Structure 1
Amino acid sequence: MLLQLLFQTKQQEEFEAYLIYKFIIPIGVVLILLFIIYRLQRLFQFLYVSKYRKPVFNHFYFRLKRLTPLQLSILKNQYSFYSKLSPKYQSYFEHRVAVFINQNQFIGKQELKITEEMKIIIAATATMLNFGFRNYKIGLLDKVLLYPEAFFSKLNQNLHKGEFNPSYKAIILSWEDVLHGYSIENDNFNVAIHEFVHAMHLDCLNQKGLKAAIFINGFSDIAHFLETNPNYKQNVVNSKYFRAYAYTNQFEFLSVVIESFIETPEQFNSQFPELYAMVKRMLNFNFANY
């Protein structure tokens, strides 16, 4: 009986050793190698971003999401930026719009009914501004509140056309003014673009990824360039190309500058090519003829 028990114990030990050497150790080695590879590629990406101020790649998807026929029709007919993209980039853009709609709650205020047009226009704005980044999501945002028209803001007790509330993780917009912003595409005023830039800016200040590094370092380059070139800065102010609200603070300056970059890129590049190039690099906007 004792010999039989010892024999069974030995068999058990041999079987356990077999499992360890045949499966557990190889799996452990593979996991360690995968972790090392992951860390090395992360290091490579950060070094690449530090040198070239852009990600190694922007688009990689296991499965592209599609919009409904109605949604795609709205995107094609009512969002001119989409038509400027190549067919391949249009498919990526559509995917990101669909992801934004799926991941963010749309809330109509003052009995405003949310429509597919509203979802597409808002989602496309966020997608456009983040299209140059692999990480295209805004972590500080999970809902969009739409009012029929200008609304009373509790933040500063005034009427607003739009605002970003990071504590509530919400973009709040007047739909009337969103439509007005897109009905005139060359006046350098678009409330949806303006507020989404605020959301991007604060989100990048709140994180430490590749996107944040490109965006924040890009804006630092712009600020440094203007501060060390006072004559150039004065020419920017005197030109009145950017509306006076841009000079309220650095956040408003960035939002107004990007509004102008999106709406009148040729005029921007003609008047201030150095500043234009820095904004383009900050957004990694190497598409749609920008």
Structure 2
Amino acid sequence: MLSARVLATIFSIVVSAIAVGILTYPFWVKLRHDRLIAKPFPKHWLDIIESNIAIYRYLSVEQQQQLQGSIQIFLKEKQFIGCLGLQVTEEMKVTIAAIACLLLFSDRKTYFPNLRSILIYPHAYIVNETVMSDRYVVEERRVARLGESWTKDQLILSWEQVSQDLLNWQDGHNVILHEFAHQLDQEDGKAEGVPILSRKLDYAVWAKVMTAEYLQLCDQVERNQRTVMDSYGATNPAEFFAVATETFFEKPKQLNQKHQSLYELLQRHYRLDPLQWH
């Protein structure tokens, strides 16, 4: 039988090992990411990006290299699943990864950590949606969706919609940007239109600008006025952030002209200036 002193020593070693593991885990994650970034970027992946991502050629060489590194990490860590018989191709994976990683130029160096699986449907998919009417009557209805982001570990996309978005980079609609903006928003476990920001001081500015812009859109939609952003952004603050992100990348000139404070806020957050691309 082990003595009390030996048991105490073993316990101390185990606790120390656990503590060291917890403290160094981010180090090992960074090391793995650095190794992936250092790998040569496959030529056929680059061909896919240059063919499908219209704005890629407008990025600086440094930005292109950073995007390529993010794509390598993304494709290594995320699982792609085809639904309704869809065969997921390498082109689908690389295209989705490239557009999603446009949202990752911040200095936080996280790569959608909650996301594990990306489900791809060939076209719009049908879900059962439970809603409560004005008279507190619960109703269930079937609705068609083009994409969806879950707070746990999954994201869903319609490849038909993705393909349409690739042909229309200036219409303000991009299902990949929309759903992955939700992923940023949901990273802290809540969907409220506030992604994790780099500094605590940024939250006050974010709340001020986003609240004012969201209320303005709600008012414009209620008055049936024309808006730069899609009216779906008036649904709630989470959808407003996702729609604003789409508009920022696809209609930067219009957004900057009509909503300069919002444009500048998103420019600081994403560390990109799409005005230079159009």
TM-score, normalised by the number of residues in structure 2: 0.72
Please give the per-residue CA displacement for 1:62-99, whole angstroms capped at 9, x wherever unaligned.
65233322111101221123211111221111111111
1:139-160 Cα offsets, whole Å, 9 max, x none, are 2201110000001225554211
Q: Which amino acid counterpart does residue 159 of structure 1 have in structure 2?
A: A
Corresponding residue of 2:177: 193
Partners of 1:279 and 1:203 lie apart in 2 by 18
- Higher helix residue share: 1
Alignment counterpart, residue 184 of structure 1, candidates 168, 187, 195 = 168
- Whole-Å Cα distance in 2 between the matches of residues 287 and 163 of structure 1? 25
Letter paired with 2:236: N
- List aligned pairs for 1:266-277, cutoff 5 A: 266-277=253-264
Aligned equivalent of 2:233 = 246
Question: Which residue type is aligned with residue 109 of structure 1?
Answer: C
* Contiguous gaps of at least 5 residues in structure 2: 1-22, 24-32, 131-141
Match of 2:49 in 1: 75
* Residues 220-267 of structure 1: CA deviation (Å, up to 9, x unaligned): 23234448xx77985697342112211011111111111110001112
The one-letter amino acid of 1:145's match is L
Q: Is the 8 A contact 1:258 1:279 kept in 2?
A: yes
For 2:105 and 2:150, locate their aligned partners in 1 and report how far apart those are by CA, in whole Å.
23
Question: How far has the Cα of 1:132 moved from its partner?
Answer: 2.5
Q: Does 1:202 align with 2:186?
A: yes
2:148 counterpart (142, 158, 163) = 163
- Is the alpha carbon distance of 1:242 and 1:82 closer, same or farther for their aligned partners in structure 2, counting shifts above 3 Å? same
**In 2, Cα distance between equivalents of 1:124 and 1:214:** 30
Q: Distance between the aligned counterparts of 2:91 and 2:112, measured in 1?
A: 21
Secondary structure in 2 matching 1:80: coil
Counterpart for residue 66 of structure 1: 40
TM-superposition CA deviations, 1:92-113 (whole Å, max 9, x none): 1111111101100011111111
User: For 2:111 and 2:203, how far apart are their aligned partners in 1?
Assistant: 16
Matched, 1:99 2:73: yes
Contact in 1 for aligned 2:197/2:203 (Cα 8 Å)? no
> TM-score when scaled to structure 1?
0.69
Structure-1 residue corresponding to 2:64: 90
Counterpart in 2 of 1:124? 98
> Which amino acid is 2:173 matched to?
F
Report if the CA contact (8 A) 2:229-2:243 is conserved.
yes
Instruction: Quote the Cα distance in structure 2 between the aligned partners of 1:263 and 1:105.
Output: 27
Q: Which has the larger radius of gyration?
A: 1
Q: Do the aligned partners of 1:132 and 1:285 also contact (CA within 8 Å) in 2?
A: no
CA contact (8 A) 2:187 2:195 kept: no
Bigger relative contact order, structure 1 or 2, given CA contacts below 8 A and separation 6+? 1
Q: Which amino acid aligns with 1:161?
A: L
